[in-house]
Amino acid sequence: MINLRITISGLLVGFCLLGCSQREESHETTSDSSLDSPVVSVIVSPNDSREYRSLSLANGIEVLLVSDPQVEKSAAALSVGVGLMFDPMDYQGMAHYLEHMLFMGTEAFPEVDAYMNFMSENGGSRNAYTWLDITNYMFEIKNSAYEGALDRFSHFFKTPLLDPEYIEKEKNAVNAEWSMRREMDYFGMFKLGRSFLGDHAANRFLIGNLESLADKPGSSLHSATVEFFDKYYSGNIMKVAMVSDRDLDQMEALARQYFADVPNKEVAEPVVTDQIDMVEAAGKLVHYVPLEDQRMLQMDFLIDANDDQFRVKPNQYLAYILGSEMPNTPAARLKELGWASSLGVMASPNGLGNYGTFSIQIDLTEAGMAQRSTIVDMVLGYIELLRTEGIDDRFASEFATSLANRFRFLEKTNDFAYVSQLAEAMQNYPTLHAIDAPYRFEGFDADAVASVMAQLTPERLNVWFVSKDEPATEEMHFYAGKFSVEPLTLSTPTEQVALASANGLAMPALNTLLPESFAVDHPAGEPVKVIATDNAEFWLQGSAIFPEQPKGFTQLQLNTSEQTKGPEAGVLSALWVDLYRQQQTTLLTEASIAGMNASVSPSFGIQMTFSGFTDKQPELIKRSLEALRIEPSEEEFIQAVDRFTRGLENSRFGFPVRQLFPAIRRLTQTGAFNQEDLLQAANAATLEALSGHIEQQLSTAYVRGYRFGNYSEEDVQSLADLIARVLPNRSGDTYTRAATYAPQPGSTLVYQENLPVEDLGMAYLFAAPKASIENVAKGELLAAHLSNRAFNQLRTEEQLGYAAGGFATQLGDHPLVGFYIQTPVKAPIAMLERFDRYRAEFASDLEALDQAEFDSIKAGVLTDLTQPPKNLGEEAGPFLIDWNRERYGFDTRTRLIAAVEQVTLDAVRDYYAETVMTETASRVLVQLKGTAFADEPFAEIEGAQIVEDVSTFHQSMPVQPR
């Protein structure tokens, strides 16, 4: 797959992904192998008790081993230091295409689905991604199957078959992936921006499609694929990361056994040296017409690559200042003027190989659209003002403290993601810093910062005006969207500085929310209702696994029933939340920098969530709650309505496959409405109605609170007292949540919608005869086999679409089994017919499944369910799900594990027959038809109920008991 590894985060550059360590530990172990290079140390967080070892094999592969006795799944990743910038010009997309092909069999394991089936049978996951400078492969599997997985995985890089039959077939999968992404505005803009780079290696078509991968005169795709593999897939530019429950000596033996014989072709490290002609590449004003309804201004500076300066992070330091939401910064001033909704700064130190990018992205209001040239001059004037006055070290302390705190209390993450992250980091940093590089800040470097500042000039700048109304006439190549380009005209630096000064722009204020205490006081590890009144309840639970973490998670629900009565209440709550976020951006940004997160969302009233270090959470929560009674201006309200309506419309441009499951929820849960109803309610909303809605919600809310982690009962009482003071005399006395459709035997629901993108998305679901934990367990085991079998047949063999497979899910308490696809080649009727044939084919497949395979699948599912949590969030997750659904036994996960343990192979076969193959099956069909099939009818099922208005359906649908 293509990885959206674009740039560092926007508003919070340097803080969501970055940090540093003032307290660090170095794990070092020596190797007794005379064939390998000496082991080097690896710097890890003081909070990380795992054991590490790094070494270089004789064939040049660098390996990082992580021993963790607590894991029930082992993982590995191998990255190759070559990516899309090195595609042959005749076969653009080759690096990505080869990534696909390595999954298609090896000499040792020639069956095309051998690797996938082994993963499926052993609770495994696998994936890969390709980007400009890297290709990265990874897997995770139950511990007992680790050696078998390493054996199969390592042969990708030794003896892949690259079978001519699948060379041709897999072109279609790559083409389907391109088809999914060709209507993404990001990819279109990214390609257009790189087209200005002339002969630079980054100026390539990245994904590949049937045209770019077609045989060329005197050359075939097969021969070109083999040549690319032979040229670049060499041990000396590969990095391996492994995580397992085994000890380091055992892991080192595995690394040698399976990776030491990967050929070392001693290839020169692929490095981009092409120089960019700034006269040709920059100084442009680009008008771009997106598919989505956007109003955006983007300023892209080309900078020299400086990824070697990760210890002092000049890009992120500058981005922190330029992207600040503090008073008197560009972001704050543009909002005050009513010209912008958000301003984000993104820095990529080496995103184009030997060059990087420094980008400022501003989401504009309608008023701001008329001031775009002024905004560009104001931002450039601010940069010139900073350059003239000089950037000093006033923010270095809070920058360093924020990063050091994150690294000191760094939590574990999913090992599948962790090995991928490590294998990529080893390509970018010395192995010594593979873990701590994103968190390291050794102090303010005036020269490094000044060097970047010196490159933020008009001579290296392209400005993008992005909206539906741009004067653009040229069509994009391989992507949707139109554009035009003209020379960039700007005011003089003197005029720009005068504009910035006239608007009072200055350095941001310092952060006041950084934690000062890391004391811990976790309560018992079981959830307890510690406060219950007529209009509120509060629960408390400490961590049983991570009691050393000075962090906590608080969820507050200000719950009302208004959303069940019509779309108006939900729309007004969404507008309230949007305006609240706009007004509280400074607070939310300050909290994030300090290691806390605060969010608010509409959900039967509103829901507020706070997480991170607990020391300053009381202040954050107090300021957040006291700001709930917003008083927006008429202009701000109109802008919020505009953002809401455009957001609704833009959601329809997403991948059809990603729209399927929101459509299922919209169909089957109360409180959801058709888009047309929401748009009508938004356009009819008034500022007066919003003000009344806010007061009504706050005066009638039933408050539920759940606190997990480093809190005491006194902390909970203080929170309850705060809410009683901020929201007094509330009349709410009940908790309202969505009612969910209860599937009925023999019934079929159909939801269908036309989309403004090309492909078809379809989901075909079958409800179990009975809602029970036993049937949920059977569904989980069934899906573990079905998902890969359906993927292999529909995607790999038949090439019907890039995203395809089978799954298990639940509507409330009711389990379902289903199939899904996004396809560019099948119309709705044909696709439904194929699903119907395939469900019969899979019944035969299930009959052929032997006991040993089933036992392995079952063990894999149990491993997933029983593996210990990696962090506070994972530990809290199952309890929070039960709390939200009022399952106060908090034992759903435990009951599911017990049920899975009892399921037999015959029970799974019977479950499939009774759920999917029976004549009285309860079905749900969702079909989202793209423009490529505009002239094709929707599929029909005899006797089905076609739901056109979900709110009308909700009024009479059978619902599950609470």
Q: What is the reported pLDDT for 39?
A: 52
Q: What is the reported pLDDT for 6?
A: 35
| Mean predicted confidence (pLDDT) in 391-398 | 92
End-to-end, the C-alpha distance of the chain in Å comes to 41
| Mean predicted confidence (pLDDT) in 166-181 | 92
Bridge pairing between strands 295-304 and 51-56: unpaired
Extract the tokens encoding 73.
């799944």
Bridge pairing between strands 125-131 and 134-142: antiparallel
Report the CATH superfamily, name and number, of domain 748-956: Metalloenzyme, LuxS/M16 peptidase-like (3.30.830.10)
Q: What's the distance, CA 673 to chain centroid?
A: 26
DSSP code per residue over 861-898: HHHHHHSPPSSHHHHHHHHHHHHHTT-TT--HHHHHHH
Q: Identify which has the larger pLDDT, 692 or 26.
A: 692
Q: What is the reported pLDDT for 1?
A: 79
DSSP code per residue over 827-859: -HHHHHHHHHHHHHHHHHHHHH--HHHHHHHHH
* The CATH number of the domain covering residues in 25-259: 3.30.830.10
Q: What is the reported pLDDT for 9?
A: 29
Number of Cβ within a 10 Å radius of residue 87: 25
**C-alpha to C-alpha distance for 261 and 57, rounded to whole angstroms:** 9
pLDDT tops 80 at residue 28:
no
pLDDT tops 60 at residue 29:
no
Q: What is the reported pLDDT for 30?
A: 36
The position carrying tokens 């085991």 is: 781
Q: What is the reported pLDDT for 601?
A: 97
Q: What is the reported pLDDT for 932?
A: 97
* 528-726 has the same fold as 278-393+443-499: yes
Q: What is the CA radius of gyration of the chain?
A: 28
The secondary structure element, H or E, covering residue 153 is: helix 146-154
Instruction: Count Cβ atoms within 10 A of the Cβ of residue 878 and give its class: 0-12 exposed, 13-18 middle, 19 or more buried.
Output: middle
* The CATH number of the domain covering residues in 278-393+443-499: 3.30.830.10
Q: Are 371 and 335 a contacting pair, CB within 8 Å?
A: no
Q: Are 145 and 73 a contacting pair, CB within 8 Å?
A: no
pLDDT tops 60 at residue 236:
yes
Q: What is the reported pLDDT for 742?
A: 98
Q: Are 921 and 766 a contacting pair, CB within 8 Å?
A: yes
| Mean predicted confidence (pLDDT) in 182-204 | 96
Number of Cβ within a 10 Å radius of residue 227: 14
CA-nearest of 777, 807, 759, 781 to 930 is 759
CA-nearest of 881, 759, 746 to 813 is 881
CA-nearest of 91, 15, 257, 81 to 158 is 257
Average pLDDT of the residues of the chain? 94
Q: What is the reported pLDDT for 680?
A: 97
One-letter identity of residue 642 = D
- Give tens-digit pLDDT for 413-461: 999 999 999 999 999 999 999 999 999 999 999 999 999 999 999 999 9
| Mean predicted confidence (pLDDT) in 610-618 | 98
Question: Which segments of 211-349 does DSSP mark as H helices, in order?
Answer: 221-232, 248-259, 278-281, 314-322, 330-336
Of 2-6, 75-79, 958-962, the range with the highest mean pLDDT is 75-79
The secondary structure element, H or E, covering residue 724 is: helix 713-726
Q: What is the reported pLDDT for 861?
A: 95
| Domain boundaries of the chain, sorted by first residue | 25-259, 278-393+443-499, 528-726, 748-956
- Give tens-digit pLDDT for 849-870: 999 999 999 999 999 999 999 9
Q: What is the reported pLDDT for 390?
A: 86
Question: Which segments of 182-289 does DSSP mark as H helices, in order?
Answer: 185-195, 221-232, 248-259, 278-281
Q: What is the DSSP letter of 209?
A: -
Number of Cβ within a 10 Å radius of residue 661: 14
Extract the tokens encoding 857.
């699948």
CA-nearest of 159, 157, 147 to 108 is 159
The position carrying tokens 């704050």 is: 332
Q: What is the reported pLDDT for 715?
A: 98
pLDDT tops 90 at residue 4:
no
Q: What is the reported pLDDT for 962?
A: 85
Q: What is the reported pLDDT for 24?
A: 41
Q: What is the reported pLDDT for 19?
A: 28
pLDDT tops 90 at residue 14:
no
3-state secondary structure 381-407: HHHHHHHHHCCCCCCHHHHHHHHHHHH
Q: What's the distance, CA 85 to chain centroid?
A: 24
pLDDT tops 50 at residue 648:
yes
At residue 277, the 3 state secondary structure works out as coil
pLDDT tops 90 at residue 366:
yes
**C-alpha to C-alpha distance for 835 and 831, rounded to whole angstroms:** 6
The strand pairing partners of 464, in sequence order, are: 286, 298
The position carrying tokens 């397992």 is: 244
The strand pairing partners of 529, in sequence order, are: 539
- CATH classification (class only), 528-726: alpha beta
Q: Are 320 and 13 a contacting pair, CB within 8 Å?
A: yes
pLDDT tops 50 at residue 364:
yes
pLDDT tops 50 at residue 5:
no
- Give tens-digit pLDDT for 761-781: 999 999 999 999 999 999 999
Q: Are 619 and 596 a contacting pair, CB within 8 Å?
A: no
Q: What percent of the chain has pLDDT over 70?
A: 96
Which pLDDT band holds residue 953 (cuts at 50, 70, 90)? very high
Which pLDDT band holds residue 33 (cuts at 50, 70, 90)? very low
pLDDT tops 50 at residue 493:
yes
pTM for the model: 0.91
- Give tens-digit pLDDT for 619-647: 999 999 999 999 999 999 999 999 999 99
The secondary structure element, H or E, covering residue 367 is: helix 366-369
- In Å, how far are 62, 96, 282, 300, 383 from 376, measured between CA atoms? 46, 37, 15, 11, 11
